[in-house]
């Protein structure tokens, strides 16, 4: 029985689903001027978390005339960040070009406006403490005289023992 098309397995084994998502979104990125979508997907790594929290790259316009690099268009939340980003333009250009490894952009154009809502990571509540880990930690710190310090150390010890057992580390 021969396999063809989407039924084929990758010769190099499993791969991350994120790579499929980027490949599927590549046409949309190209329509926005991102021939290389990594500037949008790695924006926080390029400009830093503080700046990325209130800004987003929109597109890269191609070079005009005899220019050798394009213009990165960035949308920022209304407020003082637009002025700050204008002052940081040389650093942003340098970081984007260093990220790509070649001179991809020569300028940054900043516009103010609403940013698309960002999904916040879902945080899970901590697991309930393991009674055995709590008992072992309390026994280990029973000689500590200060009750507040003893309680804090017992809590820390229980968390470390539980985390170690969750990770498969039986040495703790």
Chain segment 60-110, per-residue pLDDT in tens:
888 888 778 889 999 999 988 899 999 999 999 999 999 988 898 999 999
User: Which span out of 12-16, 129-133, 136-140 was modeled with the highest average pLDDT?
Assistant: 136-140
Q: What does the domain layout of the chain look like in residue ranges? A: 25-112, 131-166
- The helix, strand and coil proportions of the chain, stated in percent and rounded to the nearest 5, come to 45, 15, 40
CATH architecture of the domain covering 25-112: 2-Layer Sandwich (3.30)
Of residues 30 and 82, the one with the higher pLDDT is 82
Task: Describe the strand order of the beta sheet including 105-112 as a list of residue ranges.
Answer: 55-61, 70-76, 105-112
* Helix and strand element counts for the chain (H, E): 8, 3
Do 37 and 26 form a contact (C-beta atoms < 8 A)?
yes
pLDDT of res. 27 = 64
């Amino acid at each position: 029985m021969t396999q063809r098309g989407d039924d084929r397995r990758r010769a190099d084994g499993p791969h991350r689903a994120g790579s499929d998502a980027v490949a599927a979104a590549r046409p949309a990125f190209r329509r926005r001027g991102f021939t290389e979508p990594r500037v949008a997907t790695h924006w926080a790594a390029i400009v830093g978390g503080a700046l990325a929290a209130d800004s987003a790259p929109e597109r890269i316009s191609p070079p005009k005339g005899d220019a050798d690099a394009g213009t990165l268009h960035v949308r920022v939340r209304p407020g003082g960040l637009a002025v700050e980003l204008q002052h940081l333009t040389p650093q942003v250009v340098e970081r984007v070009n260093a990220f790509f490894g070649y001179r991809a952009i020569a300028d940054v154009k900043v516009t103010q406006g609403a940013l698309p809502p960002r999904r916040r990571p879902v945080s899970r509540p901590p697991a309930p403490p393991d009674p055995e880990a709590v008992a072992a930690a309390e026994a280990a710190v029973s000689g500590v005289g200060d009750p507040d310090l003893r309680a804090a150390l017992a809590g820390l010890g229980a968390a470390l023992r539980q985390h170690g057992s969750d990770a498969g580390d039986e040495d703790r």
